A and B are shown apart, each in its own frame.
Chain A
Amino acid sequence: MAEPLLQVKYLRQHFKISRSFTVKAVNGVSFDIYPGETYGLVGESGSGKTTIGRSIIRLYDPTSGIIFFNGQKISGKLDNETNKMLRQNMQMIFQDPMSSLNPRKKIGDIIGEGLDIHKLYSSQKERNEIIGEILKKVGLSPAHAERYPQQFSGGQRQRVGIARALVMNPKLIIADECISALDVSIQAQVVNLMKDIQAETKCAYLFIAHDLSMVKYISDRIGVLHKGYLVETGLTREIFSNPAHPYTQSLLSAVPQPNPLVEKQRQLIHYDAAKANYENGTMQRLSDTHFVQWH
């Protein structure tokens, strides 16, 4: 198997709220992402999935743990060169396309900001060409570069968010709940777009979401988080057809299906979260790719 693009080892992220109270958001999570694949991270709110994404891209300083990206260590103190490499090769798409675009900047300048900082063009003409290309790629037109975010619909704005990430030609894109604010039919458009782009540019995605049915469509492998622990990870097929952890089972039983007579009969599998104590959990290997944590 190829070298992993991203290796996360025993990542911990704690937030000190007061002298006596620390929120332990992420507790020793390890996983790998290979070049060109999509790794889905699912879990309920508060399970730590967003925190993991933000720790990897270094919006937070990890409390402990090691992260390797592209063969370089990106945890701990970053020197300028590593930082520059990280900023160019890892990008993020945010949840809310209404609030993640600066309303006072033109679309072209929002997308071009990374290019400006890293000086990735030699003339103004080249810059505009790059931006126009990217806009076309995400299904907008180069003329849109002169407009402001509020002139776009939610789905279009999310396309701008994707264009902003893509313009740097990153190796890894962290997509944090990037479709949950959109309508169902628009969600389908955006997910298809992300897949097309992956086929073309071979970038990898870390796809963070709570909507399991969408995660199934886009992911090659899935990790299930609960209370800051990775309780199960495996190929998408393995997670969906053969969920081993009771939490995964309860999560799957809660996904509504568009079949009224079946849906009205369905029983929720209840998972008693209070009993779960993962601190001394052990990882069990079910197959080469499928692991589950018992407690």
Chain B
Amino acid sequence: MEKNILTVKNLDITFRTNAGNIHAIRGVNFELPSGKTVALVGESGSGKSVTMKAVTGLLDSNAIINSGNIFYNGEDILTFTKKDLRQKINGQQIAMVFQDPMTSLDPTMTIGDQITEGMFLHKKISKSDARQRAIELLNLVGIMDAEKRMKNYPHQLSGGMRQRVVIAVALSCEPKILICDEPTTALDVTVQARILNLIKDIQAEMNLSVIYITHDLGVVAKVADYVNVMYAGKVIEVGTVEEIFYDPRHPYTWGLLSAMPDLETDDDRLYSIPGSPPNLLHEPKGDAFAPRNKFAMKIDEREEPPMFKISETHYAATWLLHPDAPKVELPAELKSRLMRSRKAANYG
């Protein structure tokens, strides 16, 4: 097993709001092995972005961290002061690519200024060196005429180019971890494919560890080594990308996979998970997914399932994996789909 560059342990976060306390993160554990790519998937409100905001210290002021640790290279960054975090970790060690390239760049600054801003802040670097480095970065992310583009403003670039610039900004201080929060949802498929390939190439070149936050399982299949499926503030299934896509065990993961449109079949109906995610203003009793789960058992209403081990890397939190639980058949459609994709991939 590789060494983990980032480990989140039992993270528990509450938001204080006018409506009451929202228990958004209810004990999240996850690991990022050095040099690998981990994906956090789940619906909006499942807590994937909040977890990452905790890692980068960008939580809103009404958030309370009740318990937990976040170890970066062995140090618990939750014990750092805000100032320390800003000077030593953010931007320099851990950088973030935000969702919307239209709003995450400053419209009043040139591309060049935005890329070099972080360098001046974190490094002792001369103006001409910083400029040189910025041009290199623009070349690295595949922007032609880098020298000319340095003087451009964001509005002069297309969406795909802007997202490349955002990546260049994130890479400007040679971070060890890159967090990508839905980096391609605002882009169309051809551009998306190019950006994902780009991040992959850069990852190999700079030995980056990457975290993807996304709800698009197609993107996950393309980039991830490990997958964490989140639901209602918890990781409910974790495994290698092969384990999650070819041998999923949690009914919620089944639902997510079934809801993906399948290019190979001619069904004219898409599966959709019934109901909606729980409101975390009221603490869910038992398994938070039970009300939407047709395989739910009596125990699901009373007690929350622990993580059951399936293999060294594969865990899932569902009572169905308990030795006393009845055997359930996968939904027929998903079963045939998994069979097909295993066959297409020569897996197992």
Binding site for B on A (CB under 8 A): 44-46, 153-155, 180, 183-189, 191-192, 195, 210-214, 216-217, 237, 240, 250-251, 253-264, 268, 271
Contact = CB atoms under 8 A, between A and B. Distances in A.
Nearest to B43: A183
B236 to A, nearest CB: 14
B139 interface: no
Interface string B336-348: 0000010011110
Nearest to A153: B276
B271 interface: yes
A96 to B, nearest CB: 11
Given A184-B215, A185-B255, A185-B256, A254 B190 contact: yes
25 contacts: A44-B189, A45-B188, A183-B215, A184-B259, A185-B272, A185-B273, A188-B270, A189-B272, A210-B189, A212-B263, A213-B263, A254-B189, A256-B189, A256-B192, A256-B216, A258-B221, A258-B257, A258-B260, A259-B345, A260-B224, A260-B242, A261-B346, A262-B344, A268-B193, A268-B197
A256 B272 contact: no
B330 to A, nearest CB: 15
Contacts of B260: 184, 213, 258
B294 interface: no
Contacts of A260: 220-222, 224, 241-242, 245, 345
Contacts of A46: 158
A283 B157 CA distance: 33
Given A259-B345, A264-B221, 13 more contacts: A44-B188, A45-B158, A46-B158, A180-B185, A183-B44, A185-B272, A189-B272, A210-B189, A212-B189, A256-B221, A258-B217, A258-B341, A261-B345
Interface residues of B, number: 48
A271 B189 CA distance: 13
A179 to B, nearest CB: 11
A258 B255 contact: no
Contacts of B346: 261
Which of A45, A211, A259, A268 has most B Cβ within 10 Å? Answer: A259
A240 B263 CA distance: 8
B348 to A, nearest CB: 10
B218 interface: yes
B118 interface: no
Given A254-B190, A256-B218, A259-B221, A195 B263 contact: no
B219 interface: yes
B329 interface: no
A192 B269 contact: yes
A217 B268 contact: yes
B33 interface: no
Nearest to A44: B188
B306 interface: no
B271 A188 contact: yes
A187 B257 CA distance: 13
Given A184-B216, A259-B344, A259-B345, A217 B273 contact: no
Contacts of A154: 44
B261 interface: yes
B143 interface: no
Given A46-B158, A188-B270, A263-B221, A258 B245 contact: yes
Which of B159, B197, B263 has most A Cβ within 10 Å? Answer: B263
In the A-B complex, the 5 residue pairs with the smallest Cβ-Cβ separation, listed nearest first, are A256-B218, A261-B345, A188-B272, A213-B261, A254-B193
Interface in B228-275: 241-242, 245, 255-257, 259-263, 266-273
Interface string B171-206: 000000000000001011111111001000000000
Contacts of A44: 188-191
Contacts of A214: 261
A263 B269 contact: no
Contacts of B341: 258-259, 262
Contacts of B190: 44, 250-251, 254, 268, 271
A255 B218 contact: yes
A58 to B, nearest CB: 26
Which of B215, B221, B266, B270 has most A Cβ within 10 Å? Answer: B270
A213 B217 CA distance: 12
Nearest to B187: A45
Nearest to A209: B188
A258 B345 CA distance: 11
A254 B191 CA distance: 9
